[in-house]
Amino acid sequence: MDDVLIPLVVAACVAAILGILTWLGARVRRRGIGGEVMGPFEEMWHPAAL
């Protein structure tokens, strides 16, 4: 049981983080406050954007 539970928990955590970031990105775009909130994440994924 533990052999299946550990990878399942890890996958659920990764999915939750990605879901939160997707939700946060959509919310930021709607409100137009992208620079302050999503700036660090944008820099991680696209460092040559500046």
Q: What is the DSSP string of 1-49?
A: -HHHHHHHHHHHHHHHHHHHHHHHHHHHHHHT-HHHHHHHHHHHH-GGG
What is the pLDDT tens value at each position of the chain, 50 positions in all? 778 999 999 999 999 999 998 898 888 778 776 566 666 777 777 766 55
User: pLDDT value at position 34?
Assistant: 59
